[in-house]
């Protein structure tokens, strides 16, 4: 199965516009993806025709939105092959999902002297929540090292695991390096010492097939807006056994069973983790986005994006002074680089004037950039609607920009 990229591009209205009278070339997909018309139409339709709070009303609108939300939950379940729909918790995104697990898990299982393991390539959202937990409970954050090519040092990973470690958290795909980690092996090694695992899948689910049962992840988190869905909606997958063990993170409506002034009992899964009115229309739209990805074929998407990454990598290596940051053998859709004597910000600003959107800076991985001893990178990240013609245009403009800046 191959993608009809020309047809796909017509389904994304934003790609039809111009920036500074130049056709938009959008290479900032690791930050957020654009939205296809089918997703935009769902948002429009539900706010116009069906909007009503879910799970609490007996009237038609409420029942309709409730059913659609629970259908979306099942769509997520099947997309990542979770065993049960109630193992899918809707959140605001990856960051909230990590914070939910960190705070809830720590309140039950973290004590003074315990250890939490992360890797050097983590996004801030998979570092700071664990730091907060360590500070609160007197635990220690341990960092697994990496090699210069951007791959995990598996000896360092194994050495970090011991009886003091209560949980391990690592990314599936690095948002800066593009490295695809061997999450199945890492999970197996942690489980061999009875250590649960949280995997940050924010940069993985839109690029490659994810099977949480095959990986054997205890927790797997991702955001809707990075997989063609709206902002403000995300997913926490948790094994039933773990979600049952964890206490609620937030209190309020919906997450309760019975409330008295003397005692409150909590709702069944997944609702005990979904306090208050959820972003139910966002969840419905995310279900539509995941169906859109499935209909195009995640394997076909991966092949197309891998071709783009390989082509862009070959092209960028011909540019004098360029150093690629992240050269792991297994990568996904991200090309980060620096240019000798030129600040990444300057490159990004000038590329923008030609209609090209790239990301510059540390991409919320400041400790990783500090380790490489660089202030930031230029990051081009690709999606199913990008083309080799766009990469050719990007490379031509890169040459012009560097001639101006050198």
Higher pLDDT, 204 or 406: 204
The answer on pLDDT for 403 being more than 90 is yes
pTM of this prediction exceeds 0.75:
yes
What pLDDT sits at residue 259?
A: 75
CB contact burial 115-152 (16+ within 10 A = b; e otherwise): bbbbbbbbbbbbbbbbeebbeebebeebbbebeeebbb
Distance, in Å, from the CA atom of 348 to the CA atom of 138, rounded to the nearest integer, reads 42
Mean pLDDT of the chain: 96
Domains of the chain (ranges; CATH) run 5-31+297-405 (3.90.1150.10), 40-294 (3.40.640.10)
The answer on pLDDT for 118 being more than 80 is yes
Nearest-5° Cα angle at 174, 305 to 83: 85
Strand partners, 179: 331
Which residues belong to the active site?
364
pLDDT band at 2 (very low <50, low <70, confident <90, very high): confident
pLDDT band at 201 (very low <50, low <70, confident <90, very high): very high
Distance, in Å, from the CA atom of 204 to the CA atom of 200, rounded to the nearest integer, reads 8
**Residue 168: closest CA among 179, 150, 148, 183:** 183
* Residues whose CB falls within 8 Å of the CB of residue 373, separated by 6 or more in sequence, listed in order: none
Q: What is the pLDDT of residues 338-381, one digit of tens each?
A: 999 999 999 999 999 999 999 999 999 999 999 999 999 999 99
Distance, in Å, from the CA atom of 265 to the CA atom of 272, rounded to the nearest integer, reads 10
> Percentage helix, strand, coil, to 5, in the chain?
45, 20, 35
What pLDDT sits at residue 11?
A: 98
The answer on pLDDT for 401 being more than 90 is yes
pLDDT band at 251 (very low <50, low <70, confident <90, very high): confident
């Amino acid at each position: 199965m191959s993608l009809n990229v020309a047809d796909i591009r017509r389904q994304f209205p934003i790609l039809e516009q111009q920036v500074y009278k130049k056709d938009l070339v959008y290479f900032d997909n690791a930050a957020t993806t654009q939205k296809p018309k089918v997703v935009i139409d769902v948002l429009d339709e539900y706010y116009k025709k069906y909007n009503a709070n879910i799970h609490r009303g007996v009237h038609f609108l409420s029942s309709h939105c409730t059913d659609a939300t629970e259908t979306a939950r099942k769509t997520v379940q099947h997309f990542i092959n979770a065993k049960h729909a109630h193992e899918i918790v809707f959140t605001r995104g990856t960051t909230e999902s990590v914070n939910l697990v960190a705070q809830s898990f720590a309140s039950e299982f973290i004590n003074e002297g315990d250890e939490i393991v992360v890797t050097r390539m983590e996004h801030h959202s998979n570092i700071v929540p664990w730091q907060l937990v360590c500070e609160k409970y007197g635990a220690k954050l341990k960092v697994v090292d990496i090699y210069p090519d951007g791959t995990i040092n598996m000896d360092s990973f194994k050495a970090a695991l011991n009886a003091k470690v209560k949980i391990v958290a690592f990314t599936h795909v690095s948002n800066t390096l593009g490295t695809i980690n061997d999450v199945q092996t890492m999970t197996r090694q942690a489980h061999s010492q009875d250590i649960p695992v949280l995997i940050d899948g924010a940069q993985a689910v839109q690029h490659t097939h994810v099977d949480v049962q095959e990986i054997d992840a205890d927790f797997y988190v991702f955001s809707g807006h990075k997989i063609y869905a709206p902002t403000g909606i995300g997913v926490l997958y948790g094994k039933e056994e773990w979600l049952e063990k964890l206490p609620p993170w937030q209190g309020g409506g919906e997450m309760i069973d019975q409330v008295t002034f003397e005692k409150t009992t909590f709702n069944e899964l997944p609702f005990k983790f979904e306090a208050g009115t959820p972003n139910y229309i966002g969840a419905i739209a995310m279900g539509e986005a995941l169906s859109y990805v499935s209909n195009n074929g995640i394997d076909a998407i991966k092949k197309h994006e891998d071709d783009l990454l390989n082509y862009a990598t070959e092209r960028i290596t011909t540019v004098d002074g360029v150093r690629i940051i992240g050269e792991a053998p297994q990568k996904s859709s991200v090309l980060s680089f620096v240019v000798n004597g030129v600040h990444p910000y300057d490159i990004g600003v000038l590329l923008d004037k030609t209609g090209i959107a790239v990301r510059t800076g540390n991409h919320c991985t400041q400790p990783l950039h500090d380790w490489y001893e660089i202030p930031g990178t230029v990051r081009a990240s690709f999606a199913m609607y990008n083309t080799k013609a766009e990469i050719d245009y990007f490379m031509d403009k890169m040459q012009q920009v560097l001639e101006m800046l050198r």
